[in-house]
Amino acid sequence: MTIEVSTTERIDIVDITSEVAEAVPADVSHGACLVFVSHTTAGVILNENEHRLLNDIIQAVDNLVPADEDYEHDVIDDNAAAHLQAMILGESVTVPIVDGELDLGRWQSVLFVECDGPRTRRVSVTVIEG
Ligand code: ZN
């Protein structure tokens, strides 16, 4: 299954936990849910959806790889920082499925992180039963 995610900022975070949960078929009680971002300038993480923390994450991503540095890839499409930020975040997370539910920690949400927005992206959700 594919989830479509739209953003409004260059670096932006969208909580996709409910969409991921809906992608788990009702007849799967135990297994794993793989959330995969098939892009090179966006990532996905597990963390707390608290609006001040989301701002902190955006700031940290920007600080780790500042957009205004001189990168070689920028001569092609001026988004080298976004590639490097996405590399640090990672392109996938795996969440256990227990008793038919995503077995997330109390404060964990599945957060899509755009690094080269605003854009509309595709996130795939693959459920492995077992
Ligand atoms: Zn690029």
- In the reported structure, the alpha carbon of residue 77 is separated from the centroid of ligand 1 by a whole-number distance in angstroms of 5
- In the reported structure, the alpha carbon of residue 84 is separated from the centroid of ligand 1 by a whole-number distance in angstroms of 10
Residue that is written with structure tokens 């595709």 in the block? 122
For the chain, give the mean pLDDT.
97
Q: What is the pLDDT of residues 80-120, one digit of tens each?
A: 999 999 999 999 999 999 999 999 999 999 999 999 999 99
Q: What is the pLDDT of residues 16-75, one digit of tens each?
A: 999 999 999 999 999 999 999 999 999 999 999 999 999 999 999 999 999 999 999 999
- In the reported structure, the alpha carbon of residue 80 is separated from the centroid of ligand 1 by a whole-number distance in angstroms of 6
Ordered by where they begin, the domains of the chain are 2-129 (2.60.120.460)
